[in-house]
Amino acid sequence: MNETLFRIMKALLAFLLVLSQCLLLTGCWDNKELNQLAIIVGAAIDKEKNNKIKLTVQVFLPQSQSGGQQSGSGKAQVEIKSAVGTNMADAASNLQREYSRRLFWGHCKTYIFGQSLSEIGNLERQIDFIDRHPEPREDSRLYVSDGKASDILQLSPSLEKYVGDVLRKMSEMHVGANITLKDFELMVTSEGGGAILPLIKIKHQNNDDRKMNVSPIIGGTAIFMRGKMIGRINEVESKGLLWVRNQNELPEITGYPKKGQTISLYLKRTKTKLIPKIEKGKWSITIYISKEGMIVQNGSKINIMTKKNTKRVENYIEKDVSNSIEKALNQVKDGMKVDPFGFATAFHRKYPKEWEKVKDHWEVVLPDIYVETKVKVHVLEPGLSTTTLE
Amino acid sequence: MHDKGKITAYQMALMIYPTIYATAVLMVPEITGQYVGRDSWAAPILGSLNGFFTAYVLYKLHKMYPNESLIQYSKHIIGPFLSKILGLFYLFFFLYMCGFILKEYSFFIGISLLPKTPMIAIIGSVVIMASLAITGGVEILGRASQLFVPIFILPIPIFTIMLLKDLDPKNVLPILEHGLLPLLQGSAAPQAWFSEVFLISMFLPFLKDPEKGLKWSFISLFAVLLSLVSLNLLTTFLFGEMTASYTFPVFKAVRIISLSDFFEHLEAGIITIWILGAYIKITVFYYALVLGTAQWLNLSDFKPIVLPFGLLISLFAIWEFANLQEQFEFSKFIFPFYVPFMLTVLPTILLIIAKIRTRNTMKKEPPRISNY
């Protein structure tokens, strides 16, 4: 009897010991309650005087969510504050002085860099914070603003709760370049060192209501060489650039058969291949792009239901595609002498020995490389109409 | 015999798998990446050769002295005095390794989950759990790994599938751009981890089916090889040359998983699963230390020294490295020589001496078969 009692006691004691480990599950020293955190949902970094930066953050206000009635657009759900510091970590700790709760970066998925900060170079020194600090995420998206970055955060968009959400959703829809922190790092450290970030502009809808319903738009692309922004291109050229990078932009492309006539295709599939070639010391690269889609508008006199005319339609669209690519190549490859297209990587992969010789003066070699674009558009369906009303 | 438990060869294989893999998964991708860049997937293949060799040597030794561990049978090979010194070396090595693993464990947990928690709390909690298992003996270890290791293997295929859309297989090209030398340098670290298969020598005497010991050790090594190659491929597909610039590339890879906007921030779950494997690794080394000490001192029971050694290995863990950089440097430059020397070279020398000795005795007394 005594024996069994002893064994029961022993089992109970062991059980309690195991149970006591549960106390550790709360993470004693590291417990974070929601009401101890100031959750950052968007950050903007601008250049300041004396080599300093200004960090502007949007902090989510949890109070405005409570209370039964829909507050709608009346009350802002985010608060914007900024602080100056020598780098991001320093500015963030200065900012902390203004908050009763600990700033939490885990939900900040949008980082906007001011144009002037990007242009002085060494952007990677600021990005290092996002990369190294355990809280910010690798899939955060980076942007460059046209003008001051903090102005973008001031906007109060109508559909989403805060600007960061607008930008992130746009990027996910492939409006403009969709670049995460990891993508940017890979581009900056790649062979060519050319990188891109989407460029944000502000568009005022109408004049009488300046602050409200003003939304940021992604208008073009900022071109980087390593950590330095050296130029920008507009929407048409960005489209071309992104196609070469095997990324999608918005799915509609329009071709122009004759002046005043249009025909639009909704792309379903698109694929890019870069084939580099070195022949007798001459470097060239061929861009093969194939696209498949459905006609969504026929604003021309072409009867698209015949096989022969479908070919013609395809040709018009192909012309439009190669046009934007040509423009992008002109601007970026020849003008800025940067390679965000991935040409250097393609050469390195196929010709590692030849690459070894040119890798230190790639920017000299780059403009001389002959680029051939071969676009193949395939129209799959005519849409739901066969003829036009004309 | 200090421990009356019996395990199967399959359970031993399950113990060896996390013993090699649990910490290799943290450090090996970064270290190999530094030397071989995008060819890091090939480094474990070269490195595993040492693992297979070590397992073979120890199995041969075990065949000659079936019921004893290396600490015990060394006295038949090199005499009682030298064997005591060798045993002391091994015990100190186990003590050091326990500290090494615990430190690595606490650094990783500290960076990823619990930055403010004092190291002693992280180390202490796992040491208490490990000492509980060890007091139960080898059977408990076998059962625990049978329970935990299948869960521990699971994350690799799962997060490969989840990352599928981010992977770019072209990142591995061009293959072996700078020749074979970087690959050899890069495989130095994995081969050190693979030599930890030495721990089978502590478990082979407990096997119910000792004839399957070598087979299951090889299967276990092969599983580790497969896991490391696939993980290195995964990080290269994902990060390309950037892999070496992250402290824990696999952890970074897990953080990138984001499926349809709500299935993300998975790292806490992955770490929880990883802790199961790390726990087995700590327990296996801790057990080797405690059992080895009991055998070395000819104690009748090893249980009374479990907790005191727990305190000692916690202290070692705190003393060993001042920061993670130091540990990485150690793992890069000293670990690849120190560990294989203890775990591969010394047993090989023992095996050669033992072979020569048995041959000599056979010559002297032809009819008698050695009954060591």
Strand partners, B207: B7
A352 and B174 within 8 Å at the Cβ level: the answer is yes
CA distance A290 to A267: 10
Between B154 and A28, whose confidence is greater?
B154
| Model confidence band, residue A3 (pLDDT cutoffs 50, 70, 90) | confident
Which pLDDT belongs to residue A68? 46
Which pLDDT belongs to residue A208? 54
A29 and B173 within 8 Å at the Cβ level: the answer is no
Domain boundary assignment for chain B:
9-325
Q: What is the pLDDT averaged over residues A132-160? A: 86
The burial of B359, by beta-carbon neighbours within 10 Å (0-12 exposed, 13-18 middle, 19 or more buried), is given as exposed
A139 and chain B in contact, CB less than 8 A: yes
Q: What percent of chain A has pLDDT over 70?
A: 92
What is the predicted ipTM? 0.81
CA distance B278 to B144: 12
The helix-helix angle for A123-132 and A88-96 (nearest 10°) equals 60
Which pLDDT belongs to residue B52? 93
3-class SS shares of chain A: helix, strand, coil, % to 5: 35, 30, 30
Pick out chain B residues at pLDDT < 50: 367-372
Judged against a pLDDT cut of 50, whether residue A207 lies above it is answered with yes
Judged against a pLDDT cut of 80, whether residue A193 lies above it is answered with yes
Judged against a pLDDT cut of 50, whether residue A67 lies above it is answered with no
CA distance B335 to A291: 53
pTM of the model: 0.86
Which pLDDT belongs to residue A353? 86
A30 and chain B in contact, CB less than 8 A: yes
Q: A31: nearest CA in chain B?
A: B114
Q: Using CB atoms, which residue from A14, A137, A185 is nearest to B242?
A: A185
| Model confidence band, residue A71 (pLDDT cutoffs 50, 70, 90) | very low
How far does the CA of residue A220 sit from the closest CA of chain B (Å)? Answer: 24
Strand partners, A284: A277, A370
Contacts of B33 in chain A (CB under 8 A): none
Judged against a pLDDT cut of 80, whether residue A320 lies above it is answered with yes
Quote the mean pLDDT of chain A.
84
B111 and A27 within 8 Å at the Cβ level: the answer is no
Judged against a pLDDT cut of 70, whether residue A26 lies above it is answered with no
Which pLDDT belongs to residue B1? 54
Q: Using CB atoms, which residue from A24, A189, A190 is nearest to B125?
A: A24
A348 and B174 within 8 Å at the Cβ level: the answer is yes
Q: What is the pLDDT averaged over residues A108-134? A: 89
A134 and B252 within 8 Å at the Cβ level: the answer is no
A21 and B258 within 8 Å at the Cβ level: the answer is no
B129 and A21 within 8 Å at the Cβ level: the answer is yes
Judged against a pLDDT cut of 90, whether residue A55 lies above it is answered with yes
- How close are the terminal C-alpha atoms of chain B, in Å? 16
Which pLDDT belongs to residue B13? 92
| Model confidence band, residue A70 (pLDDT cutoffs 50, 70, 90) | very low
> Cis bond leading into B80, ω under 30°?
no
| Domains along chain A with CATH numbers | 1-233 (no CATH), 234-390 (3.30.300.210)
Name the residue among B227, B202, B163 with its Cα closest to residue B24: B227
Q: What is the pLDDT averaged over residues A322-336? A: 87
B245 and chain A in contact, CB less than 8 A: yes
Strand A37-47, strand A110-114: pairing: parallel
CATH for the B9-325 domain, from 1.10.260.40, 3.40.50.1370, 1.20.1740.10, 3.40.50.300: 1.20.1740.10
Backbone torsions φ then ψ of A321, nearest 5 degrees: -65, -50
Which pLDDT belongs to residue B363? 67
Which pLDDT belongs to residue B372? 46
